[in-house]
Structure 1
């Protein structure tokens, strides 16, 4: 009966809802691909193959085929036996790891709201269910699965396009024993959108944890932390958005606290985490007034709670937010000079401290278990991930046929390496990031005029590049997904992301070990080096990520967002077609269709077929 049921499901899928594998399309163009995806989407078939690549369209609703029945159905089955499913890809990864004893990775790509976060959850859930048992193994599984709600609470936020948007990049690694049981895991994060801590666009929220805390904290917690409603806090009320449709922040807070316990945080550590979250909210309510061109704290009453929660003196906090010590060298001697800040500089120091506290807290949690610079870096990472896809699915496959002496007509595609080079190249000519860092290295204090200097140097250095152009407020990069305009205003300041030594020293003076440990800098040693920048960090992180992924056998999920309304069965033709184009699905289908459906390196073929070959020889 099980076989008949599987056959009926698959047959119905092909006849009624387009084709399972788009290699089988009669016409290969963007219209045909988009039409096939629409047919399947409207019949609640959100998964479609291009060979081994999985296309996933966000349904914006719960679907019934992610139960234990489907886990059993896809476990150990060949891809063609069942309808396309993310469980099939996850099972293929797991079995390849066991058989070939090679590292596997899945690269999930797509724009905000396309369903990347949910796809990652399904993969981890499937692997957890099929990979053995035992108390120790179950504990590891619990940590792996519970890390999701924790990271989402501290790293996700409501945006205009997505109610649960990941505002950081993540690389999740699960380690398995030779028996296929998970015995450890590691999460790496990069590029947390720190600016969201201090401001958000209209209709957006800050990170979920703030609203969870304010809605879910007990009466005792609220009194200890001095917290009230979200509209009271400057860091939250600028966007005038405090709730998310169909989301209970109170319920999610309970899950977040449970997740902290599961990953091993003690009660004292959990308390310290909440203290820091509340401290950031209180910091945001410190405002400044101008007196003789100097900044003064508007009301010292607002210094009390953040000082108390951070374990620092109220006077110290006031002093470090409104003044700064600068080292000056005269005749071989170094002299420290106290410089009083204006209101703009004081606000900058307050926000820099708030962003540093939150981002370091986020890093701690990861290790334990409108910002244009930020968006520019996100797009750079997307370019690098697209480059991996091109290298391994379009470029390498065609080169393999040529090397094998097989007659092959080259299939053209856009290789976005030129865009990656435009952004990250060090020399001949230098890329945008190198020019940006050079300008930042020569900036003074607040950096007046640096942004225009950057724009002039970009125009002079790379103005002739066909993937770069200028506009009246900044510059445009022609990414693989389309043109993106970057406002140059504030670009250099955000790239420097300076946290002055005075602030670090203040945090190192905290009476709380938890706060102290978040600021381990050796300030004397760091004074001698060139300060690192956001672009330097993200370039290093992105290239390290690429190197790690290239050592694995890759699997791909290309996520597509069908509409901007976030409603089920709503299909915006032009939006989907655009994604089909820039994801290179047509080229992917053409390469797969013209090539071999199944290819295996000879060494691997021999290893898996050795016993069969030996028996065949004996029979002869």
Structure 2
């Protein structure tokens, strides 16, 4: 491995990354390897393609952007095991195979499944493509986590953020790999937790978040009190979850609602129901002549207010029940008075219905926010985060359903790995030793089978036979089970419980409450009550059509249907597995991974012949583009994956090159127009700066990472160049100017005074100006290169750069983004006042005055006089001049005609840049002030005409193809009848002594960007033919002649 992320977190690479490579396969060697890696902070380990994750119960340091970049596009064994490697493998396989993928994250409660799912979602969101619409989908997917965790997670004795519901998130992608939507399915919310919790557990997070984070106005409107006031929160003795800030999480939950499209009014409606649930829990009953009566009517007022109901209606529905009985064709209605036990049951059923329907509403809101709008073909990645296998001191109906779903997931794992793997050996005729493993299909049949009836079927029958009563039903169910399935090897009965031998261990289920919780019936009276609500949102959660006499769907039937649908969805995808583990209390075996090691030690790579041929056919002419032979024979003509990547890389580069060239031309044309708009009618232009391309980086930032650090961590640099800075005495110094989306940074260099780096030049930030603090940019109306940066409540910076137009264009865009569509003020005038940093003893203000020098050169002449600097410069192009897309008239005519220019701007030499380089120092005038070279080089503008190389005559090419004057024309171009005789031949002249030209030496290599330019290497000697004021010189090497930038050579 070339690079190991563990080296950066002080972690030694210990043990074996992939446990199929263990030399000795035993429980001790497996445990020892996991223990070694865990102690070295290596929580991930492979078993072939399966990822083992050991919960470290602390935040690990290797989940940053750096790790995301490291694993993106890398093969599994290039880097150490990581959840990002599995996520990247899923994403790439989806695009390569054109098949949907899924990951099944399994393990007991508290093993880290939810955190693993979050990391996978974050990684896929990071590496997939994006635009504004795609980013919205990503935001909804990511923000669905804190939203649903608030309403669906709880603190238990084993896990402070335990998922009390299951979810399957499908992220839908376009065929190009961009997220275009998604779907979220939820399973079996543990709604009984709303009304009762085990000792040491909490209720759902949202209740504690509301009480801790609600502002005073909201608390008053919702009647929010102290936690001890609510019966539904003060039962378990636990109020605070470890390492949890409920107030902060409350605001995160509100933000998540906003992202998924729930506005402020919708959020208030949701919180009303949350508060109503707590207030309903305080309604208590007393016995009044064997019937239930409200203990204190005052407790009815706030639920009625929050739900938009009448307190009298609530009182009636909680103490009486309307029943219908049929006698032939006649229906008789009876109002039955309930006892205290029935009233308590009705109250709790009402609360559970409100909360579960509220949770379903949140799931629908998430699905609507990321609904797939495109009808084109798509792919998907599914992430299953479902409650783990549970074994508590008291296990009830909820644990029965949870463990059933985990058995179904284990069955998928067995079918697609353990069983399928060995069946493949048989199919391929491979010699192998059969490996024994426990197939939990027999346990699944015990629970869900219909013929012979399993536990769920017997439970539904018992509930149907005793639909009108609760007393004694659970005992009847236990008796039925003891008779029907007593002989099953994975079942054992008891006095008040029964035991199922699951794949993860034996679990004893207490029979009390099984039938009531399986019925999951909400009386029609309560549905009708909610349909009378004046609260539209509360009313919309109960759209049910009340149908008397219809047998309701039980909870076990719902979960069985959902589990089978989930299995069907997962079986359509290519599965990946994450097995989350944590040390258990007894240190005993539980998750059954040993057999998996032996299975996974088989052939490392396998793929059907048809798929193999489809993927690698492009590598040979024999199989590409059409192959109609036997796939098995076609697969004998193959090369490596790397060869295929090279082939596609070549194709991609050609496409990218053509597109980038086209895009760059359009982009540069647009930038030139925008730059011209800034100066149009206000400032004279330099001839050679009008049509040059914008480069952005004139320093070579890739060779100077220190400059990136000084500009700001992870800040994108939009423009960088070296500028001349003038101090209060108008003395000059060189600084690097760096423009980001937030600030302008001026970087200088100073010698280290002491320490191990004494005498060395180091980069330091001389000044950093936040964009929002820029008051204006001062410029003159002439063609000079001066910039006056006026900063609010701070001193002025006087700078000079030939790339002022590009700088101002980029700065104006970033200023607009930073200041919410603000406009950068450009102040064009011939005199500017400068505020100095120093205010006393020679400080205060300075004046810079600009004047037009008649007949002057484009070089600025600087005349300092005390506190005033006069800048004199010749006239430039008119201030109404616009850039032209083609070369100006009079420019050099290329030899190749009819070819569109694709010239790119030559950039400043990057590798040799050292900031204050000697060759770029300006010359000093008599006043000690620099005369800055206005145009050190030509950047995409007009090239000066090349001097003819043979005598003083004009070549035919230079005259547009007319080689000699036509006979019969006078000097004025008029035709004459005089035919001139041919002149007599002159005596041969002596050979002309060749003219000696000065020779310059190349400091840096230069690659010609156009046909009229000259390429050379470092150290090449170039015959200098002519110097041009633009900064581009004309030279010759051997027979090659052309233009080159003057700052690449030394005279």
Normalising by the smaller structure, the TM-score range is over 0.9
Per-residue deviation, 1:407: 2.1
Q: Write out per-residue CA displacement over residues 389-423 of structure 1, whole angstroms, 9 at most, x where no aligned residue.
A: 01111001110111122223221100000000000
Q: 1:4 to 1:74 in 2, by over 3 A?
A: same
Change over 3 Å in CA distance of 1:200–1:362 after alignment to 2: same
Map of 1:483 onto structure 2: 506
Q: Is the 8 A contact 1:198 1:235 kept in 2?
A: yes
> Aligned partners of 2:2, 2:436: CA distance in 1, in Å?
42
Between Structure 1 and Structure 2, which shows a larger proportion of helix residues?
1
Return closer, same or farther for 1:606/1:453 CA change in 2, 3 Å cut-off. same
CA contact (8 A) 2:504 2:592 kept: no
CA-to-partner distance for each residue in 1:432-460, whole Å, 9 max, x for gaps? 00000000001143321111111111111
Q: Which residue of 2 aligns with 1:583?
A: 591
- After superposing on structure 2, the runs of 4+ consecutive aligned residues of structure 1 that deviate more than 6 Å are 615-620
Q: Distance in 2 between matches of 1:444 and 1:138?
A: 51
Q: Using the alignment, how far apart are the partners of 2:516 and 2:91 within structure 1?
A: 45
- Partner of 1:173: helix, strand, or coil? strand
* 1:529-553 deviation line (CA, Å, top 9, x unaligned): 3111110000000000000000000
* Structure 1 counterpart of 2:647: none
C-alpha displacement of 1:38: 0.4
Matches within 5 A, 1:592-603: 592-593=600-601, 595-603=602-610
CA distance, structure 2, for counterparts of residue 149 and residue 617 of structure 1: 50
Partner of 1:225: 222
2:455 is aligned with 1:432? yes
Structure 2 partner of 1:387: 411
Aligned counterparts of 1:537 and 1:312: Cα–Cα separation in 2 = 31
SS of residue in 2 equivalent to 1:337: strand
C-alpha contact 1:150 1:260 (8 A) present in aligned 2: yes
Q: Distance in 1 between matches of 2:329 and 2:621?
A: 80
Mapped to 2, the partners of 1:9 and 1:220 lie a distance apart of 52
Query: Which residue of structure 1 lines up, in the alignment, with residue 812 of structure 2?
Result: none
Q: 1:353-502 maps to which residues of 2 (within 5 A)?
A: 353-369=350-366, 372-427=396-451, 429-502=452-525
Which has more radius of gyration?
A: 2
1:569 corresponds to which residue? none
Matches within 5 A, 1:95-244: 95-244=92-241
For 1:612, which of 595, 606, 619 is the aligned residue?
Answer: 619
The 2-side partners of 1:424 and 1:8 are apart by 46
Task: Tell me what 1:517 maps to.
Answer: 540
**Over residues 361-399 of structure 1, what are the superposed CA-to-partner deviations in whole Å (9 max), with x where a residue is unaligned?**
001101111661111000000000000001111001110
**Post-superposition offset of 1:179:** 1.5
- Structure 1 CA distance, aligned partners of 2:4 and 2:491? 51
Structural mapping, 1:69-88, within 5 Å: 69-88=66-85
Q: CA deviation at 1:123?
A: 0.0
Query: Matches of residues 531-610 of structure 1 in structure 2 within 5 Å?
Result: 531-562=552-583, 575=587, 577-578=588-589, 582-593=590-601, 595-610=602-617
Structure 2 CA distance for aligned equivalents of residues 334 and 197 of structure 1: 37
Range 494-503 or range 431-440, more displaced: 494-503
Distance in 2 (CA, whole Å) between partners of 1:599 and 1:388 is: 20
2:961 corresponding residue in structure 1: none
How has the CA–CA distance of structure 1 residues 285 and 476 changed in structure 2, closer, same or farther, with 3 Å as cutoff? same
Distance 1:105 1:444 in 2: 41
- The structure 2 residue matched to 1:38, chosen from 18, 35, 38, is 35
Q: 2:5, 2:62 within 8 Å by CA — same for their partners in 1?
A: no
| 1:590/1:4 CA distance change after superposition, 3 Å | closer
Cα deviation code 1:164-194 (max 9, x no counterpart): 0000011111001112111111111011001
- Correspondence for 1:305: 302
Flag the structure with more relative contact order, 1 or 2, with Cα contacts below 8 A and sequence separation at least 6: 1
Q: Tell me the TM-score normalised to structure 1 length.
A: 0.94
> Structure 1 residues 615, 325: closer, same or farther in 2, change over 3 A?
same
Compute the displacement of 1:601 (Å).
Answer: 1.4
Partner of residue 249, structure 1:
246
Q: Residue 489 of structure 1: SS of its match in structure 2?
A: coil
Deviation at 1:600, TM superposition (A): 0.8
Deviation at 1:617, TM superposition (A): 8.1
CA-atom RMSD in angstroms? 1.8
Deviates more, 1:284-293 or 1:170-179: 170-179
Aligned partner of 1:568 in structure 2 is none
Q: Return the offset for 1:563.
A: 5.5
Aligned equivalents of 1:150, 1:356: Cα separation in 2: 19
Distance (Å, rounded) in 2 between the aligned partners of 1:443 and 1:551? 40
Greater strand content:
2
User: Whole-Å Cα distance in 2 between the matches of residues 616 and 376 of structure 1?
Assistant: 55
Q: 8 Å contact 2:194–2:232 — kept in the other structure?
A: yes
Contact between 2:152 and 2:164, CA under 8 Å: does it hold in 1? yes
2:51 is paired with a residue whose SS is: strand
Offset of residue 8 of structure 1: 8.8
Say if 2:138 and 2:179, in contact at 8 Å, map to a contact too.
yes
Distance 2:533 2:469 in 1: 27
| SS of aligned partner of 1:185 | strand
CA distance in structure 2 between the partners assigned to 1:284 and 1:614 by the alignment:
75
Name the SS of the counterpart of 2:175 in structure 1. coil
1:67 maps to 64
The gaps in structure 2 that reach 5 residues or longer are: 367-393, 626-636, 639-1051
> Shift in Å at residue 298 of structure 1?
0.4
1:570 corresponds to: none
Contact 2:395 2:510 in 1 (8 A): no
Distance 1:8 1:541 in 2: 41
Contact 2:454/2:485 (CA < 8 Å) preserved in 1? yes
| Contact 1:446 1:493 (8 Å CA) reproduced | no
How far 1:5 sits from its partner (Å)? 3.0
Report the alpha carbon displacement of residue 491 of structure 1 after superposing the two structures with TM. Answer: 1.0
Q: 2:395–2:509: 8 Å Cα contact kept in structure 1? A: no
Q: Identify if the C-alpha distance between structure 1 residues 231 and 7 changes in structure 2 by more than 3 Å, giving closer, same or farther.
A: closer
Note if contact 2:395-2:508 (Cα within 8 Å) is conserved in structure 1: no
Structure 1 residues 7, 478: closer, same or farther in 2, change over 3 A? Answer: closer
Contact 1:195 1:371 in 2 (8 A): no
- 5 Å-filtered alignment, 1:330-349, equals 330-349=327-346
